[in-house]
Amino acid sequence: MAKPSSRNVWVDYLRATITVLVLAHHSALAYTTFSVFNKDAYILSTHAIVDRRRWVLLDDLVGFNDTFFMSLMFFIGGLYFFSSIKKKGVLPFIKDKMYRLLIPFLLLGTLLMLLAYFPIGFYTL
């Protein structure tokens, strides 16, 4: 007989749902009515890419997501924080997070941001 899993399936579904909502949120930002792109002063832009076609219903999606999804992501991240430190210990926990999160973020984040902002350089010329 199979050993019952100690995983909480509802947490896995919640993580998957919030990930899809975050992707939808960031995809919709280019099409909201409040998006602004200032090619003279990029820092004054709301987003890197803004489409001319807008849809007012996406304002509702973005506004709804803004009310809860970051706090929910921190809540999900904190659900197993203490049990993970208890199981691994403090230093192995930090080392594991460095290898799993910090190093890929620094390497891939830098590379992907360069690739993502590359087309904008041509657009603003």
pLDDT at 16: 94
Residue 119's alpha-carbon distances to 9, 41, 46, 72, 114, in angstroms, are 41, 16, 17, 33, 9
Based on the domain organization, do 12 and 63 belong to the same domain? yes
Residue-wise pLDDT for 99-117, tens only, equals: 999 988 998 888 888 887 7
**Do 29 and 57 reside in the same domain of the chain?**
yes
Task: Spell out, as residue ranges, where the chain has pLDDT lower than 70.
Answer: 1-2, 4, 120-125
Number of compact structural domains in the chain: 2
**Residue 2 domain-assigned?**
no
In this prediction the pTM is 0.69
For residues 68 and 98, membership in a common domain is answered with no
Residues 42 and 18 in one domain: yes
Are 111 and 73 in a shared domain? no
Residues 51 and 92 in one domain: no
Shared domain check, 16 and 64: yes
Q: Which domain holds residue 75?
A: 7-79
Nearest to 66 by CA among 108, 34, 37: 34
60 and 91 co-located in one domain: no
Say if residue 106 is in the same domain as residue 45.
no
Residues 58, 13: one domain? yes
Assigned domain for 1 exists: no
In angstroms, the CA 122 to CA 85 distance is 47
Co-location of 20 and 71 in the same domain: yes
